[in-house]
Every structure is written in C-alpha cells, then in structure tokens.
Amino acid sequence: MKRLQKTGFYRTAPICALALAALVLTACLTGCGSQPYKVVPVEGTLTSAGQPLANCVIQFKPAEGRLSSAKTDENGHFKAQYSSDTAGIQVGECRLYLVNVGGTITGPGKFTYTPEQQKLLEKYGTSTEGFPVTITKKDKNMVIDLP
C-alpha cells in the first residue's frame, strides 16, 4: 500500500498547534493579569514652602500606565495606593496633581478654600501641568515640597 505524503496544511498543523500551546503556557506561567509596570511602595510628606499640606487628595500620573493616589493626614503624611490591593507608585517620571487641598465642605461636592489653598489648586490642580516627580525606588520618607 502506498503511503500518502503529508503536504500543506497537514504538515504545518502540528507545528502551529505546538506554537499556540507554548504561547498559552507562557502567558499563564508569567501571569495573564500581571502588572505591566514596576510599582514600588512610596510614602512621605507633602509640603508647600516647608509647611505640611493637611487633608489633601493627590494623584501621581505617569505618562503611560495607571495613576496612583493618596490622601495626606493632618501632618501632610501620605501613603500612595496604585490599586485596591497594591500600595505604591509606578517607577519613572510622573506628575503630581492636587485633587483637593483640605478645603471646608460647604455642600455635596462643594468646598471653600483659603486664598493659599486656592492658589495651590490653580497651580497644581488636575487641569494644570502638575508638579514633576521622579520615582526610582521604594521610599518611606519622600518629601515633596511644592513651591
């Protein structure tokens, strides 16, 4: 009996199947949902002209990737959060934005600010260029002093 020679699709199908299986296995072993960016824990103090900025909501926004956020306490201390289960900030260049600078609540979603707080929001608020910050490593004592 004459043996049929495998050609075309029948010759390449097993190779394609093996390549696909290897790709799927690699993706699962490296973590299909892993973070594409390096994130390091960061906490510190936010000040302006050397004075702590209390009760501020801040964001750290990288050029690419997810932003991190934090809230300062009464001493200006903050601990950045990248996601609900990951503390920190993405490594690299980012911009710091003030979302709120501890104003007095006057109604639902409404705040009153001192002239100094208003000036900071106008200079570093979310509709501005923000303040440049570079994250290079884990840091528990970062001091960010807004001029």
pLDDT tens readout for residues 36-89: 889 999 999 999 999 999 999 999 999 999 999 999 999 999 999 999 999 999
Q: What does the DSSP 8-state code read for residue 41?
A: -
Q: Look up tokens 């990288």; give the residue.
A: 62
**pLDDT at residue 5, as a whole number:** 57
Please give the Cα distance from 122 to 117 (Å, whole number). Answer: 9
What number of helices (H) and strands (E) belong to the chain?
2, 14
67-79: b (≥16 Cβ within 10 Å) or e? ebbbbbeeebebe
Report the mean per-residue pLDDT for the chain.
83
Phi-psi region of 99 (alpha: psi -120 to 50; beta: other; left: phi over 0): alpha
What's the rounded mean pLDDT across residues 111-127?
A: 92
* pLDDT average, residue stretch 14-40: 53
